[in-house]
Structure 1
Amino acid sequence: MDSPFAQHLHTNYAPSDLEVKAIRSHLIPHSQEVLRLEALISELSAQRNKTMDYIDAHKALISPVRRLPPDILQEIFLACLPTHRNCVLSANEAPLILSRICSAWRTFALSTPALWASLHLPLEYIFEWSLTNPVTEWLARTGRHPLSLSILGPRDLERRDSEGDQVDVLLDALVRCADRWSTLDLSFDSYEGLLRLSDVCAPALHTIKTKCDPLELAQLKLLTTPSLRVVTICLWQNFDRYVHALPLRWEHLTSISFDSMGLHQMQGLSLHVALDVLKRCPRLEHFETDVNNEFEFAPPSPLAVQPHVVLPALQTLIISRKSSSMGPMTLEFLIGRLIMPRLRHLQLPRTNQAQFAQPFLGDLSTTSPLIEELDIDLTGLAYESLLQNIRMLPSLRKLVVLDSDAIQNVGPKYIAATVHLLLESLAPPSDVESTAAATPLCPQLCELWIRECRDLPGWEAELLDFAQRRLHSCGDTSFKHLDIEYKMFMPPIAPDVLAAFSARGLSISSSCPTHTWGCSPQPDTPWTGVDP
């Protein structure tokens, strides 16, 4: 547009009073034009929005999700549920969030019992926020579907006078659906925590996990359920005093886990009680327990040696001692008493193998020739003993090693088992001349997991060099995964380096611990008590 003041535009020129008045008069029609155009734009925008609403409404009619069959929509909804724990009373998670999308989805979600078939109940949170009625409504939506429940009880369940009605209503609602309990996780810290549930029968109960007073546990009729197959029991006390009093149908069980939750060397089952439990369970497929060190101090005489226990179905044996160690005599005796022809996964505790460098797995290669996965702690373990034990497992495909403090308790007579020495055995250096010496340990190994790895100079280069040697010695088709979990912060491996190994079929992953030191206690939430 031409302007009579064009020569002064975009300059520092200061117009006179007459020129100011002329400029204002000149702009009047242009300002009116702007108003006209804005009105036109507003009208056109309104027409555009109206047309877009018309189009969107018709597009919604042909949206693929509207045409999904109910069974497909149900599978999508079920895939939204958490997989590592039960559902919680939170509108930010499925299934509740699915009922807030639209009326059709709300109707469908509320009428699908499988969506509501799991629930985590932190009672402290439920009573604090008066959520008893929502819980009863939730349970009512489950129809006749089997239930998975986890109940985290407060310390003073029976002393909550102000919430007395809530306690009664909630427990009554739970008891009414006890005939559909399939998986149950009960955690009560108080003596009276389970009194209200001690007489409840659950004829369809398949899995139970308990953390409560042992005297209460012995009175729990739930443990007598014939359908019960999987049992996990956590106690602070020594199991020997209570395990025989448990009213379990031992002959029906396929999985047992005993967690003593303590670090004392006498925590856990004694050897004779552990073997007695195993003798009672011919169908056992998974056994996990702490074993105490009583055997180290008072080994039985030859006449008292127990006969072998045959476990024809056992596939996983986990012997855990938390942060304490188990004597090699104890471990050797236990392994030597068991015949496990189908064993696939063996997890060994930390051993105080400082006094000798002998294998402690006995003739495991004969009695359990199918072992594919071994978890072992290197702390206090002699290197020669480590090699001898691993060589007994020719079918090993996955090795998990804990490198917390490998030189602890190993005297000058023996070489400590370390991750560095293990890596050299799994992938001999390229300058090794002897063919026998160059043969790598565990030729069928597919996965190596290193836990609590310490930050040492040049460690990343050593790991990558090991990966190269292993691929070279065993071929690019066997070794598939290397996973490192550091004990402290370490920078990640460069993506281009990982990509080069990935192209050869080897995935390498690393992680660092997430510390919460100094964090203030969090308030009760719908997730309180659920493992992350």
Structure 2
Amino acid sequence: MLPANVALRSELAELDIDISDLQTRLAEKQAQRGQLQQQLDSITYHVLSLPPEIVSKIFILCLPTWSRPLDSIDLKHAPLLVSHICSQWRRIALSTPALWKDSLDICMCLRRKQATNITETWVARAQSCPLSVKIQGPMDLVKRAGVSEVFRHVALGVQSLELDIFEEDLVKMPEPLEFPLLRKLTMCVCGGDEVELLDDLVQTFDDVPQLSQVVLDHLPAHAIALPWEQLQKFTGKFYLLDKCLDALRFMPNLVECAFSMLETVVAENYEIFSHPHIRTLTLFQSMDFKDEEDAQVDIPRSAQLLAFITLPNLETLELLDIEDCNAEILASFLSRGSPPLKRLVLRPHFDHGQAELLLSTAPLLQPQFTDLEIHFPSKDFVSRFFERFGCDSGFLPGLQKLSVICRKHWSKEASRDDLLDAAALPLASRWDLHGDNKLRVFRAIAVERQRSKRKTPVPLQRLRQEGMDVVIGSRRPRAYGEFCPPEYRDSSSSSEI
């Protein structure tokens, strides 16, 4: 019995020694940690010493400039990212309403409770700031009551609302709500162009006293109840001719409009419609698919609309990436209404007779025509245009600003160097001929990945010294290509050489 007690006491003694050693080492580590913590606490984080209002502005600059693919719950991007760094930044983020006003994307494929909670949180954090909200379908998982609840949360504070939904979601749209601040409404409805017989299907936006701008994508105007008479800006995408004309009739006070129009078989009973107030018309390309298997692209025939409308007060005409505009259509449109056109933008899908289009219609442009913008001209165009521009003072006599954007995607397209070679001497000749009524601005911009190192031609250097605003610059091509609808076009800055 005695030897067993001795052995146990010996083991306990050894454990006591080990514990004592560990306690000593723990104390040393704690002391070492304390010293390191003191050193860390003595370091000043300059970013944490910035005034909260400066940090708020930095946070706002961190907001993504692209649309989120799904919803606002994304910890990889602001505003949620900056609110999860530290407690101080979170307090600043939550007290910065402007950080939350433009970032609310609601994915209705979430459950009702999730969608409602997200909406409540964002609206509360935005406080009194007007909201920009995007609501995405499909709404399969949410009943109509849940959809109405989400809309009610944003209705009083939303200034810009974008709906990206499906045709079957239209029946879940809420009853009329009050949207006192809503100025812009965008509705993209997949399959909405099939809604042919359901007039005023959507009644939600009956009370929108400040609404002035509407964009409808694949949704005819007759399918939604709106205060059409107060609208000033309208964009219709994937419209047939009759839908374009219907939309124009709905909006007698329209000032700006844009259409991408699908090719229409014209009936004999179509009459020319005159709109007295439109000052800006944009006809542009959208992409559609005839067959999902072979993905054949259908390019709208938007210029067809010009044959059926008269715009006696039109000041700006933009023809963007369409392939069916020819000199006959444009000349007929200009001669029929004799609009006081001041600005013309030509950006062809390809160079389908661009030179003939402009050269033949130039005599129809009134003396007040001052601004011409040409995109992606051919070598033939720049040669013929500037040859005439330099020697004929009666050709576009009132032109004050000429902008030419070049690229080199096809062998026939003019590069910026081709443009400068063709333009330098004619511009100088025109400057010397024209007296006081001179071209004031010339912009030559290249869409290129690397900046050209070519020097400004000597004649253009002289014109710059004598007072012409000569800009020779470049910008990178957009990642998604050069074709985009008007409301998505950016004002990309160009770098001057």
Range class of TM-score, shorter chain: 0.5 to 0.7
Kept in 2, the 8 Å contact 1:206–1:230? The answer is yes
Alpha-carbon RMSD across the aligned residues, in angstroms, is 4.8
Counterpart for residue 311 of structure 2: 338
- Aligned with residue 386 of structure 2, among 415, 419, 427: 427
Written as runs of structure 1 = structure 2, the 5 A alignment for 1:285-296 is: 285-291=255-261, 294=264
- Aligned with residue 508 of structure 1, among 460, 468, 473: 473
- Aligned with residue 109 of structure 1, among 85, 93, 99: 93
Shift in CA distance, 209/330, structure 1 to aligned 2, threshold 3 Å:
closer
Distance in 2 (alpha carbons) for counterparts of 1:178 and 1:331? 38
Counterpart for residue 139 of structure 1: 123
Q: Which runs of 5+ in 2 are unaligned?
A: 1-31, 287-297, 432-437, 465-469, 482-487, 491-497
Q: Secondary structure at the match of 1:257?
A: strand
Written as runs of structure 1 = structure 2, the 5 A alignment for 1:54-453 is: 56-57=43-44, 66=49, 68=51, 70=53, 73-83=55-65, 85=67, 88-118=72-102, 119-124=104-109, 126=110, 133-134=117-118, 136-154=120-138, 157-158=139-140, 160=141, 172-191=149-168, 193-204=169-180, 205-212=182-189, 214=192, 215=195, 218-227=200-209, 228-235=211-218, 239=220, 243-260=221-238, 268-270=240-242, 274-275=244-245, 277-291=247-261, 294=264, 298=268, 306=273, 308-311=274-277, 314-320=278-284, 322=286, 324=299, 326=301, 331-334=306-309, 337-340=310-313, 343-347=315-319, 350=322, 352=324, 359-363=331-335, 366-371=338-343, 373-377=345-349, 379-381=351-353, 383-391=355-363, 392=365, 395-401=369-375, 419-428=378-387, 435-436=391-392, 443-450=399-406, 453=409
Q: Secondary structure at the match of 1:223?
A: coil
Distance in 1 (alpha carbons) for counterparts of 2:354 and 2:413? 23
Kept in 1, the 8 Å contact 2:101–2:129? The answer is yes
Kept in 2, the 8 Å contact 1:329–1:360? The answer is no
Q: CA deviation at 1:47?
A: 13
Shift in CA distance, 172/362, structure 1 to aligned 2, threshold 3 Å:
closer
Counterpart for residue 481 of structure 1: 443
1:257-290 alpha-carbon deviations (Å, 9 max, x no partner): 1111xxxxxx5232xx644543443432321124
Distance in 2 (alpha carbons) for counterparts of 1:481 and 1:287? 26
Q: Which runs of 5+ in 1 are unaligned?
A: 1-44, 261-266, 404-417, 517-529
Distance in 1 (alpha carbons) for counterparts of 2:420 and 2:42? 57
Q: CA deviation at 1:194?
A: 3.8
1:225-246 alpha-carbon deviations (Å, 9 max, x no partner): 332221111117xx4xxx3453
1:191-249 alpha-carbon deviations (Å, 9 max, x no partner): 1x24333315132222111122545883322332332221111117xx4xxx3453121
Q: Secondary structure at the match of 2:135?
A: strand
Structure of higher RCO (CA pairs closer than 8 Å, 6+ residues apart): 1
Q: CA deviation at 1:372?
A: 5.5
Per the normalisation by structure 2, the TM-score is: 0.66
Shift in CA distance, 91/142, structure 1 to aligned 2, threshold 3 Å:
same
- Bigger Rg over Cα: 1
- Greater share of strand residues, 1 or 2? 2
Kept in 1, the 8 Å contact 2:241–2:305? The answer is no
Per the normalisation by structure 1, the TM-score is: 0.62
Kept in 2, the 8 Å contact 1:181–1:202? The answer is no
Q: Secondary structure at the match of 1:149?
A: strand
